[in-house]
A and B are shown apart, each in its own frame.
Chain A
């Protein structure tokens, strides 16, 4: 199993060609996707056409960059011109975007090849990919378990080697938690680091696009291609983008690493805790200075999130009305009835729940008590991190309190929400967070290690993750699929 950087080297030496590699991936997808169900749409023809173009460039000695000819998978929440973008929802099932998201245009300009669109929890709402309106995705390490979510299809595709890397989106942990469950690297960049033009909106003050890859260098290469200001997204910032791969080798000697006490809680999986504690020792052995820090409002972050995210979602999802695009219910005798039926038939249970919760939190009489309160608590969560980052350069903790659970195990919505208790605070504070393989349970399930950085300091996250990866074997393991 190659990495993005390794395949690039083989392309440039002529040992491998993009058409050969893409054909092999398409064959592998055909053989294994029926079990893993990572892809919702496979874009065979366009992938082969893109591969031929990449091959010509490579043969002419003029590749577009280090991603030229690299086959990737894209979460179905990101608009792709001419390729159906259903977002895991019946209401968008017929939707074919007339334009590309900025991240897709940038990957195209870098020569990357899109193998297909990956399955996800409907509108990115969920932590297991079981909320897809179409089918659940399976965890490649144990097909009876979930891959995490909501970017479960992207994580499973990378873990099962059905793509070399992928894009996902992360509103409350939707890149990092599936990365942890599937044993891949997943990075949520700082809010504003990557353009969201063409990302189907869930909660606009939290959503961020980021990469999955099998190793840290791969994630750095994808981030390099997609990061930076975009005039089409006014929330993307003009902060300069550094050279991420150049930062990888800088080591962590003397780096101050904070260990937040609140991220080691009662009830968490003891194997997860043991693996994360062992990883902290590895970082120490590499010369990092670790110290305990406190993020006292951690316990309130989840509650604040489940007001803020549904409130924003209820507003964003008001656009699905059966008028300009998407599904429309038949038989509505007037416009109001058509709206109500279209949305009742088009949305799944979790999306309806969040629309209801958000509408309730924003409604007259409840706004200040719920939404206003949550925004104030958000300030407290942000301050916790600001104070910690006065003393340390990054934080290390588990990505999730457990490893991948069995399909159907978390039918109670609140139990599902609690999966994201360690990832949500990072979104509320707008910080970059990275999950990387940090060990395995005795039964062979991956454990995720989370690194949290200062705003726009993805370079430090990547360099620390890279240093850890170089001295640990976890990323070299692959699930057995046949």
Chain B
């Protein structure tokens, strides 16, 4: 099966620091692929290069078989890449519905009419409300986003990404800051999402990683030291030494 998303030999240096050292990984249809590694391993730098925020010094990024290395964030989003952030990036002064409508606008291909009321556009509203409904936020549609709990903001981030009907998701620590209950709820939701679009996920919550991931890649000092199934990663001595600790 052809990968939906793929990096080939991505290299990125910041001065003397080698943040990405020839990283090649792929995301296959229907899977959740978790990227783990200790702090400072270069996970966020890699995610930023995949999303288009940072340009790699060498190597390439491919989405649905197309080389998207030269494209910016917005163009990759239009090409089918959905993204959520480590720290929720939402319009906090706006309502929940307005944030979802923003996503629905993007799904239209970037046309932004100047005059018709955004919230009076039936199509935009329907797309936005359907996405909010899926993450159980429809009842909070008229709430100001700043008033949402941390977990609800996480859900809204996913809803905004859903409005775009992406072909692949890139999620940067979706479980960060969630309590046990919130984490379990989001885990269930992402579990069901993988058939719709595969998910590449950076995550520190090992319970979530081992519950969800079909494959796991381990990044240490900018280098991919292993990629494999849960059991393979658990059994890998390099991973045990470098990340999980000898006792794991």
Do A and B associate with each other? no
